[in-house]
Amino acid sequence: MILHMRKRIVLDTNVVVAGLRSRNGASFRILELVGSGRFEIVVSVPLVLEYEDVLKRMARGLGLRHADIDAVLDYLCHVADRRGIFFLWRPILRDARDDMVLEAAVEAGCDHIVTHNLRDFAGCERFGIRAVTPGRFLASLEGRA
């Protein structure tokens, strides 16, 4: 019997923002699928704080209230694999905020980091993690990639 494990991913902040900005596109579809059992998301305290900071600064442009953002973050934290990070290798990537995404992915043994900025995650392959776009990740879920 072959056991199929769910893919484990970390969502870069830009994917969460894009998914809340528009109901069209792969980022929104990924947010819709969070908690469905098709894959598992991983978060850490620094990552959730980053989501919160960016989303609340952009709230008006997203057409959301801070309470709406709190509800989204509460849900993500509820369904996610919450990980504590007990090591830092910074800097690894060009942007320290991207390092916190990579640290969560490494700590949890994730398959992918889902991001719109693939160049920002150049080098994550040495940890056995692939940076993929939301569209590419959805295609992999559907067996098209």
pLDDT digits (tens, 9 = 90+) for 66-81: 999 999 999 999 999 9
Residue 108 falls inside a structural domain:
yes
* Residue 114 is assigned to a structural domain of this protein: yes
Least confident of 1-5, 81-85, 141-145: 1-5
Domain assignment present for 2: no
Distance CA 126, CA 129 (A): 7
Query: What is the C-alpha to C-alpha distance for residues 117 and 31, in angstroms, rounded to an integer?
Result: 18
Which pLDDT does position 103 carry in this prediction? 93
Please indicate, yes or no, if residue 30 is contained in any of the structural domains: yes
Which of 96, 49, 90, 92 has its CA nearest to residue 73?
49
Instruction: Report the CATH number at residue 63.
Output: 3.40.50.1010
- Under 8 Å between Cβ of 131 and 121: yes
Tell me the pLDDT tens digit for each residue of 15-73.
Answer: 999 999 999 999 999 999 999 999 999 999 999 999 999 999 999 999 999 999 999 99
pLDDT band at 140 (very low <50, low <70, confident <90, very high): very high
The domain of 22 spans: 7-141
Determine the Cα–Cα distance for residues 3 and 95; give it in Å rounded to an integer. 37
Number of domains in the chain: 1
Give pTM, 2 decimals. 0.92
User: Domain for residue 1, yes or no?
Assistant: no
- Over the stretch 103-128, which tens digit does the pLDDT of each residue have? 999 999 999 999 999 999 998 999 99
Q: Is 31 inside any structural domain?
A: yes
Does 85 map to a domain?
A: yes
For residue 119, being part of any structural domain is answered with yes
